[in-house]
Amino acid sequence: MHVKTLAAALSAAAIMAPASLLAQPTNNFTLVQGKTASMGKLVAAANGQTVYALLTDSQKADEKAAALAACDKACQSQFTPVKAVGAKPQGWLLAQGLVGAVKRADGTLQATFNGLPLYTFADDQAAGDVNGQGFNKVAYVVSTVGKLNTAAPKQAQAAVPAAKTVAPVDAALFELGKEKYAATCSGCHGPNGEGAFGAALKGNKMIANDDAFIKQILVGSGDMPSFAPMLADADVAAIATFARNAWGNKLGGITVDQVKKLR
């Protein structure tokens, strides 16, 4: 039996243990197997940063010409060659035969995978970021079998916001509120809630908070007087209901009971 390299032994171990359970290697490795939510498994630098192959290095003349036209010096400077560690760079959980290096013009060794020179991207901050994917149609992540993966990153599943149910709007309260608002509030907050001496109530987030809005009317604040003495509970509920559902606001009704509790 011939002596296996450490990397080869670790590659075998990968079959039994998911990569995420293994400690990240700290030295000797140039490349590692990375796993991202949006692109799946790919080749990464030892620190976990995603690496890319650039079509500016392509062997195909037309591909290379198009890439050079699409990615000028400034664009290319976003990509930093991955330095190979040692003349025979190693890969963690990667097919060792595909890990290699190429000598750059400045004499340094750049890591390659399946012959593709590798780069990291300036805007990738954390391990697993793939912000360089498809950059100027020039940069692509590299699969663990050494092929360019030109797929678009899968969008992270947007959390579906729970449909926000707003309280029903009592039509009679709304009508009363329209009248009361005009008589009591419009002088300072504008006939259309656009704001004047007082803040705009159209599109105002504060009034989405039931209790805070009711309290504001009952108690007032700063230069806004307390309206508790002059408005009945039904008037306050009516004004609040109106303001929360007029001028494009869609914040739902306020009940007389809610006002009674806070009075």
Q: Interface residues with ligand HEC (CB under 6 A)?
A: 184-185, 187-189, 197-199, 201, 204, 206-207, 213, 216-217, 221-224, 227, 239, 243
- The tokens describing 31, both together, are 């490349």
Q: Which residues, listed in sequence order, are joined to residue 34 by a DSSP beta bridge?
A: 42
Shortest distance, CB of residue 188 to ligand HEC, whole angstroms?
3
Give the whole-angstrom CA distance, residue 218 versus residue 213.
Answer: 9
DSSP state of 98: G
**Between residues 133 and 184, which has the closer beta carbon with respect to ligand HEC?**
184
**Between residues 85 and 208, which has the closer beta carbon with respect to ligand HEC?**
208
**Between residues 222 and 229, which has the closer beta carbon with respect to ligand HEC?**
222
**Between residues 187 and 191, which has the closer beta carbon with respect to ligand HEC?**
187
Helix, strand or coil for residue 245?
helix
Reported in sequence order, the residue ranges of the chain that DSSP labels E, i.e. its strands, are: 29-36, 40-45, 51-54, 79-81, 90-92, 99-103, 109-113, 116-121, 139-142, 148-149
**Between residues 99 and 185, which has the closer beta carbon with respect to ligand HEC?**
185
Shortest distance, CB of residue 161 to ligand HEC, whole angstroms?
24
Give the whole-angstrom CA distance, residue 179 versus residue 199.
Answer: 20
- Work out the angle at residue 169's Cα, subtended by the Cα atoms of residues 165 and 173, and round it to the nearest 5 degrees: 155
Shortest distance, CB of residue 51 to ligand HEC, whole angstroms?
49
**Between residues 22 and 208, which has the closer beta carbon with respect to ligand HEC?**
208
Shortest distance, CB of residue 200 to ligand HEC, whole angstroms?
8
Give the whole-angstrom CA distance, residue 207 versus residue 189.
Answer: 13
Shortest distance, CB of residue 170 to ligand HEC, whole angstroms?
17
Shortest distance, CB of residue 261 to ligand HEC, whole angstroms?
18
CA atoms within 13 A on the CB side of 64: 5
- Check: CB of residue 245 under 8 Å from CB of residue 252: yes
**Between residues 65 and 206, which has the closer beta carbon with respect to ligand HEC?**
206
Q: Which residues, listed in sequence order, are joined to residue 44 by a DSSP beta bridge?
A: 32, 50
Four-residue CA torsion sign, 5, 11, 15, 18: positive
Shortest distance, CB of residue 236 to ligand HEC, whole angstroms?
7
Give the whole-angstrom CA distance, residue 85 versus residue 105.
Answer: 17
